[in-house]
Structure 1
Amino acid sequence: MSASKVIKFKYDGAAMSWIRRVAWTHFWGGREYGLQFHDQCFEPAPEVTEALRRLNLKEPHLFDARKIRLSRAHTMALHGERLPKDQWTRWEEACLFRDTYFS
C-alpha cells in the first residue's frame, strides 16, 4: 500500500496534498537517486537513531534496503551520475517508515 495514501498529515486538505506531491516531484532531488523521503533523516539525531533501531529489530529487510539505497546514492553522487528517469522513486511508491517507528 502506498504511503502517500496511508500517512495522516497535520494539514491534510486537497491543497496540501497537491503541494506535497508537487514538492516531491519537482523540488526534492533524492528521488533521482532512488531514495525514499525518510532516507534523508540525519542519523546522529536521537529520534532517528531510535527509529532506525526499531526498524532494524522489527523489519531488518527494510533497514538493509535503506542502507543499500544510501550507499548507491552516495556513490552515484560522487561520480556525478543519476538513475535513468524510469527508475526514479515515484510518489505512489514512497515508503514513509519514520512515522511508524517514531512513536
Structure 2
Amino acid sequence: MALRTTRVLYNNSLKKWCYNLSGFNKYGLVRDDLLYENEDVKEALRRLPDHVVDERNFRLIRAIQLSLQKTILPKEEWTKFEEDKLYLTPIVKQVKKERAERENWEKEY
C-alpha cells in the first residue's frame, strides 16, 4: 500500500513540476489553448459556446501581448495545475471520431 501511495504522490508531483516547467501557465494559458488549429480543432471551436471561445481568445491575446512585452503575469494569476481543465479535447476527440466514421462510410458505400 505504501508503494502505491508513493507512486501516486510521485506521479502527481512530477506532473505538477512538468506543468510549471512548460511555462505557458505563466501567461495565463491552459493546455487546450495550445492545440494546433487543424480542421478538427477548428470544427471543435465552432461547436463551443461563444463565451468559452471569447475567454480563449482573451487568454491568447493577453499571452501574445505579454510575450511581446517580455513579461509574465504575477504569480497569483498563473494558471494552476489543479484549475487547468480540458475544455476542448473531448470535443476534438468527438470530431475526429465523427470524421473517421464519415470516411469509413464513404469508403464502404
Give your verdict on TM over 0.5. yes
1:81 maps to a residue whose letter is T
Q: Which runs of no fewer than 5 residues in structure 2 stay unpaired?
A: 1-6, 95-109
- Distance in 2 (CA, whole Å) between partners of 1:47 and 1:81 is 32
Give 1:68's aligned residue. 58
More RCO (CA 8 Å, sep 6+): 1
| 2:16 equivalent among 13, 21, 25 | 21
Identify unmatched segments of 5+ residues in structure 1: 1-12
Give TM-score, length-normalised by structure 1. Answer: 0.74
- Summarize the alignment of residues 1-103 of structure 1 with structure 2, pairs less than 5 Å apart: 14=8, 16-25=11-20, 27-43=21-37, 45-55=38-48, 59-102=49-92, 103=94
Per-residue CA deviation, residues 36-89 of structure 1 (Å, 9 max, x unaligned), is: 11101122x11211111111xxx2111100000000000110010110011100
Q: Is the 8 A contact 2:32 2:89 kept in 1?
A: no
Identity %: 34
Report the Cα distance in structure 1 between the residues aligned to 2:64 and 2:40, rounded to whole angstroms: 23
Pairwise CA distance, 1:100: 2.3
- Max radius of gyration: which structure? 2
- Code of the aligned partner of 2:44: A
